[in-house]
Amino acid sequence: MTAQSVKLGYDTGETTVADRIKLFASRNGALIGLIILCIALSFVAPAFLSAPNLLNVGIQAATVAILAFGQTFVIVAAGIDLSVGATAAVSSMLVAYTGANMGLPAWLTIIVGLLAGAAFGACSGMMNAFLRLPSFIATLAMMSVARGLTLVISDGRPISTSGMVNFFGGTLAGIPVPIIMMVIMGIVASIILNFTTIGRSMYAVGGNMEASRLSGISVHKTQIMVFVLSGIFAAVAGLVIAGRLHSAQPQAADGYEMDAIASVVIGGASLSGGKGKISGTFIGAILLAVIRNGLNIMNVSSFWQKVVIGLVIAFAVSFDTLRRKVDTH
């Protein structure tokens, strides 16, 4: 029957403009949703469209987006990374600690932070690749280890950060640095996924691990690299969080892994691997931030916000699943 489904799928050969718009809409549900939401919000709460508020949305989205970019690597390679929030916390705490308590120069503390993120990622990756722990378990373990170490290092208290770190929470030529960092990290992630062998290997390994291995792609290397990258991205997110608060907080980014995963999934990635785009993840993160911001403007309590966010995730993903079903028939 395969040959026939091929015929069916491609019989429509000539596509009209209307068809293309329909196709675009069905493939970019999250983007369409975001646009509709923004238009609706601008009517309900005119303050939404003001420049300061939009920048605020951007800042709110930035940390989750950066974590989610890293998460995209992992999910494309058919894994999941629950440790990104805790990794952001432990690396920013190391940045603050090595600066305030050990007197390292600020630039060096930042490198320490990034290396720490990479190291935590490498641990998850090696557990996944060599010990064959499912990534869910490996990163669940690392989440606890990283959060615990954050508390051990800080003794449960915030540590203030250096001026160079605080720059990541400030503004540059009137533009908030978190937004700049989000854009830079988004571009870097996109380049890695689309143009490098390691990025292309993520899609292959996520799509079919055995076929990739038998084609000469190093599955272990790919598995470790996705978590290393995810760890580095988490460390960058940690810098932004610390910069905004002018300190490293022991409970920083608590629960952010869920928002990051939600962003990736809303962006159209498949948890079974092989699919996902940075642009989608970006839209997913912005969508979550806009919803939070809109609910804030409308004075909806943060308790109810959680309920709404949950429903949005369920709705967005089921829409996507339904679309795929329609696509394959």
Partner 1 sequence: MTQLSLVGVSKIFGNTKVVNNVSVTVEPGKVHVLLGENGAGKSTVIKMMSGIYQPDEGHIEIDGKTVRILGVEDARKFGIAVIHQELNLVPQLSIMENLFLGMLPAQGGFVNYRAMEKKAKEALKLIGLNEDVHTPMGELGVARQQMVEIAKALMQNASILILDEPTAALTRKECNQLFAIMDELKAKGVGMVFISHHLDEISRVGDVVTVLRDGQYIDTVDASASEDELVKLMVGRDITNQFPHEHREPGEVLLDVKDLNREGELNNISLQVRAGEVIGLAGLVGAGRTEVIRAIFGADSYDSGTVTVCGKQLPKHAIGKSIEAGLGLVPEDRRTQGLVLDASVAENLGLATMIPTSKYGFADLHGQSKREIDTAKKLRIRMANVNQTAGSLSGGNQQKIVFGKWSMANVRVLLLDEPTRGVDVGARVEIYELINEITANGGAVLMASSDLPEVLGMSDKVLVMSEGRITGCLPANEATQESVMALAVSHMDDDNNAERN
Q: How far is the CB of 216 from partner 1 (least distance, A)?
A: 4
Structure tokens at 128: 């996944």
Q: What is the DSSP letter of 168?
A: G
Q: How far apart are CA 292 and CA 306, in angstroms?
A: 9
Residue 14 touches partner 1, criterion: CB under 8 A? no
Cα diameter, the chain: 69
Nearer to partner 1, 255 or 329 (CB): 329
Tell me, by CB under 8 A, how many residues bind partner 1. Answer: 34
Distance between CA atoms of residues 316 and 290, nearest Å: 15
Structure tokens, 52? 């300061």
Is 303 a residue that touches partner 1 (CB under 8 A)?
Answer: no
CA–CA–CA angle 240, 246, 247 (5° rounding): 90
Residue 131, phi then psi, degrees to nearest 5: -90, -5
- Binding string, residues 259-298; x marks residues near partner 1 by CB under 8 A: ---------------xx-----------------------
The number of CA neighbours under 13 Å toward the Cβ of 41 is 25
> Does residue 2 touch partner 1 according to CB under 8 A?
yes
Rounded to the nearest 10 degrees, what angle do helices 278-297 and 29-44 cross at?
20
Pick the closer one to partner 1 by CB: 108 or 187.
Answer: 187
The reply to whether 299 sits near partner 1 by the rule CB under 8 A is no
CA dihedral 87, 88, 90, 95 (to 10 degrees): 140
- Helix or strand (DSSP H, E) at 4: helix 2-10
CB-nearer residue toward partner 1: 155 or 210:
210
* Run of H or E including 141: helix 135-154
Q: Smallest gap, in angstroms, from Cβ of residue 39 to partner 1?
A: 33
Using CB under 8 A as the binding rule, the residues of this chain from 186 to 215 that contact partner 1 are 195-201, 203-204, 207-208, 210-215
Tell whether residue 1 is a contact of partner 1 (CB under 8 A).
yes
CB distance 312 to 291 below 8 Å:
yes
- Name residue, tokens 């290997």: 201
118 lies in the site for partner 1, by CB under 8 A: no
Contact flag: residue 10 with partner 1 (CB under 8 A): yes
Report the residue number, 3 or 326, with the smaller CB distance to partner 1.
3
Binding mask 39-58 for partner 1 (x = CB under 8 A): --------------------
Residue 326 binds partner 1, judged by CB under 8 A: no
Member of 112, 217, 232, 290 binding partner 1 (CB under 8 A):
217
CB of 38 to partner 1, least distance (A): 32
Q: Which is nearer to partner 1, 103 or 216 (CB)?
A: 216
**Smallest separation, CB 214 to partner 1 (Å):** 6
CB-based contact 97:155 (threshold 8 Å): no
When the beta carbons of 69 and 203 are compared against partner 1, the nearer one is: 203
Q: How many Å apart are CA 205 and CA 200, to the nearest integer?
A: 9
Q: Which residues bind partner 1 (CB under 8 A)?
A: 1-11, 13, 195-201, 203-204, 207-208, 210-218, 274-275
